[in-house]
Amino acid sequence: MPQHGPRDLPEGDPFGPATLPYGVFTTADEPGRPRVGVRYGAHVLDAAAAAAAHGSAYAGLLDRPTLNPLMAAGRPVWRAVRAEVRGWLADEAHFHPLDEVTLHLPFEVADYVDFYASEHHAGNVGRIFRPDAPDPLTPNWKHLPIGYHGRAGTVVVSGTDVVRPRGQRKAPSDEAPSFGPSLRLDLESEVGFVVGTPTELGTPVTLEDFREHVFGVCLLNDWSARDVQAWEYVPLGPFLGKSFATSVSAWITPLEAFDAARTAPPERTHPLLPYLDDSGAEPGGIDLRIEVAVNGETITRPPFSAMYWTAAQQLAHMTVNGASLRTGDLYASGTVSGPEPDQVGCLLELTQGKGPWLADGDVVTLTAWAPGPDGTRVGLGEVTGRIVPAHEH
């Protein structure tokens, strides 16, 4: 039974009434009944119970084990449910302390795409991986948001242990590849966008329609085995260096919660084709400030506002060939890195490719918030994971 109300919301808490992210939780009483909850401060509102108690027309979308039915319902429903949730906050009957519930992967992932949208990150990585290239950015970089598909089946919820992957690696000086646990395990701090409203095959999504399709935003750690990746990725891209695990926050913050944090992306240095040209549109960036901590110590503060390509441009690009969207499609920004050395989004950049890398037992935690209305903060749920030793097979 709920013991506490939400009255104890501390000032500046990034999970106040301007945030209201959705997740899926169970209680110790009913471990077999995952359902939709809304985070409020250090509490979880049982949205399924509140909807039933208040006779909401949307109760059937909330007493579900994933967010997918709500996500598929479309933007008018998202707005209506959010308004109802605000009303339910006054009723203290349906709250659980956050530390007394279990959080689950909040949605069924359909396809997972990872972009590469920070010019600072791409430049830094280009200099490390391709030191002899005349330009650290490939010629296409300023013309399209580069992306690739990742493994949807290994997206895990924050808190899931990450087993150190094993694989092939070969340094240029090695005669032959060797096999074993990755020696260069890295994190990548990213922001993920979750698709709600699907599309038909053959139907591109324009920049203007972005908000009709994207349900919400999460924080994401795209764990990377740099030694595996470096050996495998030419010519078809990253595969096993990434596919062992991708962690997402347990909370999906609705897109509209970031309305007050919109910001213009960096000035574009190359002309854009019309389907990507957002020069006349509302600002497509989000002033989201990420903090990356290892074992409780902050090591870098990547600014999402520095991303060259916006989430709307990524969606427009991803669908311009007619590729359809499904409810549950997840696409991530790529590593968020700013221009300063203490703003880079992964250890590869932070250590200039030299390490140290993640050690067994290390706990990596990403947090993020953006300015909300009236001096408030709007948070993304944290994404955390502990490295556990490679299995012996």
112 is in an annotated binding site: no
Residue 229 assigned ligand-binding role: yes
Residue 149 binding its own copies, by CB under 8 A: yes
DSSP 2-69: ----GGG--TT-TBSTTT--EEEEEESS-TT--EEEEEETTEEEEHHHHHHHTT-TTHHHHSSSSSHH
What single-letter DSSP state applies at residue 122?
Answer: H
Interacting residue with its own copies among 323, 351, 355, 362 (CB under 8 A): 323
For position 358 contacting its own copies by CB under 8 A, the verdict is no
Check if the beta carbon of residue 114 is closer than 8 Å to that of residue 332. Answer: yes
Any known ligand binding at 116?
A: yes
Which residues sit opposite 331 in a β-bridge? 113, 193
91 labelled as ligand-binding?
no
Give the rounded distance of the alpha carbon of 43 from its chain centre. Answer: 22
Least CB distance from residue 167 to its own copies, whole Å? 5
Question: 24 pairs with which residues across the strands?
Answer: 36, 104
By CB under 8 A, is residue 102 in contact with its own copies? no
Q: Report DSSP letters for 277-344, one per residue.
A: --TTSSP-EE--EEEEEETTEEEE--BGGG-SS-HHHHHHHHHTT-----TT-EEE------SSGGG-
Q: By CB under 8 A, name the one of 39, 43, 104, 317 that touches its own copies.
A: 317
138 binds its own copies (CB under 8 A): yes
Rg (CA), the chain: 21
Burial environment of residue 269 by CB neighbours within 10 A (0 to 12, 13 to 18, 19 or more): exposed
Look up 121 and say whether it is catalytic.
yes
Binding to its own copies, residues 359-378 (CB under 8 A):
none
- Interacting residue with its own copies among 42, 52, 233, 262 (CB under 8 A): 233
- Find out whether 345 and 118 touch, Cβ atoms under 8 Å: yes
Q: Which of 94, 121, 213, 317 is catalytic?
A: 121
Q: Using the rule CB under 8 A, is 315 a contact of its own copies?
A: no
Nearest CB to its own copies, comparing residues 19 and 310: 310
Q: Site size for its own copies, by CB under 8 A?
A: 68
Interface with its own copies includes 72 (CB under 8 A)?
Answer: no
Q: For residues 50 and 91, is the Cβ–Cβ distance under 8 A?
A: yes
Q: Which two tokens stand for residue 158?
A: 């924050």
- Regarding 201 and contact with its own copies (CB under 8 A), the answer is yes
Query: Residue 275, interface with its own copies (CB under 8 A)?
Result: yes
Q: What residues are designated binding site? A: 114, 116, 130, 188, 190, 222, 229, 233, 242, 246, 335
Q: What residues are designated binding site for Ca(2+)? A: 114, 188, 190, 222
What is the contact surface with its own copies in residues (CB under 8 A)?
A: 110-112, 116, 126, 129-130, 138-140, 143-144, 146-154, 156, 163, 165-168, 170, 176-179, 201-204, 225, 228, 231-241, 243-245, 271, 273-275, 317-318, 320-326, 329, 391, 393
Active site residues: 121
